[in-house]
Structure 1
Amino acid sequence: MTIETQNKSIVLEAFDTLFNKRDYVAAEAYWSPAYIQRSALIAPGRQGLFDLIKSLPDTLTYEPGVIMAEGDKVMVHGRFSGNGQPAALIAVDIVRLENGILVEHWDVLQDEATTGSSASGLPMFGARFPDSVE
């Protein structure tokens, strides 16, 4: 198994543990205590990320889509729905790992387009527009 395959698996497990299961104790094993947060919307460190997730509705769901890895970096295109906002959030999260632990994060975020607002006529995530935003 390549390091890229291992890192993709770790990131998917980490995201599911934190965002979907909301298991903060288990999530600590995936995120470094010295985690570097480069998102402009999230407070510094691992605790900043955990506090943000704790502040969101229990209905929050994360769905991973396209995932790519190169060396110690993994990039995931995903959807955060049930976030208490009118539209789901489409995210590209980039994380850097060291020894199987997430140590650094960057993101690009955008509200999910509806059928009517998509200039291309195509959904931003998956094969169809979600019923919740049509």
Structure 2
Amino acid sequence: MEVNTQEQNKTIALEAFEALFNQRDYALAERYWSPHYIQHSAHIPPGREGLFDLVRAIPETSKYELGLIAAEGDFVIMHGRYSGIGLPANWIAADIIRMKDGVLIEHWDVIQDEATREQSQSGAPMFGDSFPKEKEQE
């Protein structure tokens, strides 16, 4: 039964990110994020409304792409790319979500700017199997 819950949590977390970051459907997103949501990210104001207001403030061209998702108990970790966010570089993030009863209740993240081929000392891209195109970085 634990495996099913973890699989369900992964599905719900991905649907939540799709609703908020890609569709910008705030009514739908409210179903996924608890009204008592706890935000640990230093760059996002507290609560569900702090997150929603952040998304409202970024360009409509922004999008979230999932690279990898894993679950353990009530936690889901998503490794993804935020592009078109109005900054000089895309963000590559590990979003750590705690869930309860199918709802996102707490969040932490680790974010860094996506390196271009010229910036990558390892020679490997940070997300997927190719480096970002210059237009994606804008």
**Per the shorter chain, which TM-score range?**
over 0.9
Stretches of structure 2 lacking an aligned partner (at least 5 in a row): none
Alpha-carbon deviation of 1:2? 1.2
Give 1:85 deviation, angstroms: 1.0
SS at match of 1:2: helix
Tell me, in whole angstroms, the C-alpha distance in 2 between the residues paired with 1:4 and 1:125.
Answer: 24
In the alignment, structure 1 residue 72 sits paired with structure 2 residue 74: yes
SS at 1:27 equivalent: helix
Cα deviation for residue 86 of structure 1 reads 1.4
Q: Distance in 2 between matches of 1:131 and 1:32?
A: 36
Question: How many residue pairs are counted as aligned between the two chains?
Answer: 133
| Residue in structure 2 matched with residue 94 of structure 1 by the alignment | 96
- Counterpart of 2:87 in structure 1 is 85
Q: TM-score, normalised by structure 1?
A: 0.97
- Using the alignment, how far apart are the partners of 1:84 and 1:35 within structure 2? 26
Per the alignment, residue 45 of structure 1 pairs with 47
Deviation for aligned residue 1:130:
1.5
Q: Distance in 2 between matches of 1:67 and 1:93?
A: 10
Superposed displacement of residue 6, structure 1: 0.4
Question: Of residues 58, 65, 79 in structure 2, which corresponds to 1:63?
Answer: 65
For 1:17, the equivalent position in structure 2 comes to 19
Amino acid at match of 1:51: D
1:126 partner letter: G
Moved over 4 A (4+): none
1:109 aligns with one of 94, 108, 111: 111
Name stretches of at least 5 consecutive residues in structure 1 with no aligned partner.
none
How much identity, in percent, do the aligned residues show? 59
The separation in 2 between residues aligned to 1:84 and 1:56, in whole angstroms, is 7
The amino acid across from 2:114 in the alignment is E
Provide the TM-score with structure 2 as the length reference: 0.94
What's the C-alpha RMSD, in Å, of the aligned pairs?
0.8
**Paired residue type of 1:96:** R
Counterpart Cα distance in 2 of 1:81 and 1:42: 17
